[in-house]
Amino acid sequence: MSGWLVIAGLGPGDAELVTPEVTRALAEATDIVGYGPYVARVAPRAGLSLHPSDNRVELDRSRHALELAADGRRVVVVSSGDPGVFAMASAVFEAVEAGPDPWRALDIRVAPGITAMLAAAARVGAPLGHDFCAINLSDNLKPWALIERRLRHVAEADFAMAFYNPRSKSRPDGFQKTLDVLRDSCAEDRIIVFARAVSTPEEDIRVLPLSQATAEMADMRTMVIVGASNTRLIARDGRPFVYTPRSVEA
């Protein structure tokens, strides 16, 4: 039996945002491996083994998935969003590099998905419509000094910004420090978007000027987008549209 491993992106939550490629991989799989809440998004069926695991055990989970594939199983590692953006793909390849040589010969594929920043951007218009950066604000796996250095450079170069993992119970203060850096570098009317649980029943979206943003507006399920200096707000009944123009004047 010839095993394979697909690292698949389930998108932000809505089943309508799961690609047919991912749906097919799930239908052909013998084993689903991933963080519990993501595995729970896969419908059980006869012949399919579900292997939910806790958060923060990405390398153990990756090794388990690779062992299953090496045994001839058809394995899908599920991520939310896109697996290549602050999700499981890097962990799997890290495990491949550190693992036994035969793992390098396995049939390993990445099936892309709709990542949170693009789902969040779509909800408000096109705030990432020009050059932008994606930054993981968690300092669990990198020093805060690097995050701060990156924030200052992207503000200086006037990129729009998308922030993943802005704030968690174990890191209550990091996002306040991020807001402080932004206030150093950006005008107080810079547009900021808090997009929580996009495409799920708990979706909640706020658009406001940087001056009114507070750290408590973000949690684990929030995607934060900060416009560039020329990002525009279109007033209308209800939530305004937000977009970053395609042109920048010389």
Site residues (CB under 8 A) for its own copies, limited to 25-84: 58, 82-84
Q: Which residues contact 236 (CB under 8 A, 6 or more apart)?
A: none
Q: Mark the segment that binds its own copies (CB under 8 A) among 28-36, 47-55, 96-104, 167-175.
A: 96-104
Interface with its own copies: number of residues (CB under 8 A): 77
Q: Mark the segment that binds its own copies (CB under 8 A) among 41-49, 176-184, 216-224, 227-235.
A: 227-235
Q: What does the buried/exposed string (b/e) look like for 28-52 if buried means 16 or more CB atoms within 10 Å of the residue's CB? A: ebbbbbbbeebbebbeeeeebeebb
Q: Check residue 99 and report its DSSP letter.
A: S
Nearer to its own copies, 50 or 201 (CB): 201
Q: Using the Cα atoms of residue 229, residue 235, residue 241 and residue 243 in order, give the sign of their dihedral.
A: negative
Among 40, 122, 205, 215, which residue sits at the site for its own copies (rule: CB under 8 A)? 122
Which uninterrupted H or E stretch holds 7? Answer: strand 4-9
Among 3, 5, 10, 11, which residue sits at the site for its own copies (rule: CB under 8 A)? 11
Q: For residue 155, which amino acid is it?
A: A
Nearer to its own copies, 163 or 194 (CB): 163
Nearer to its own copies, 47 or 156 (CB): 156
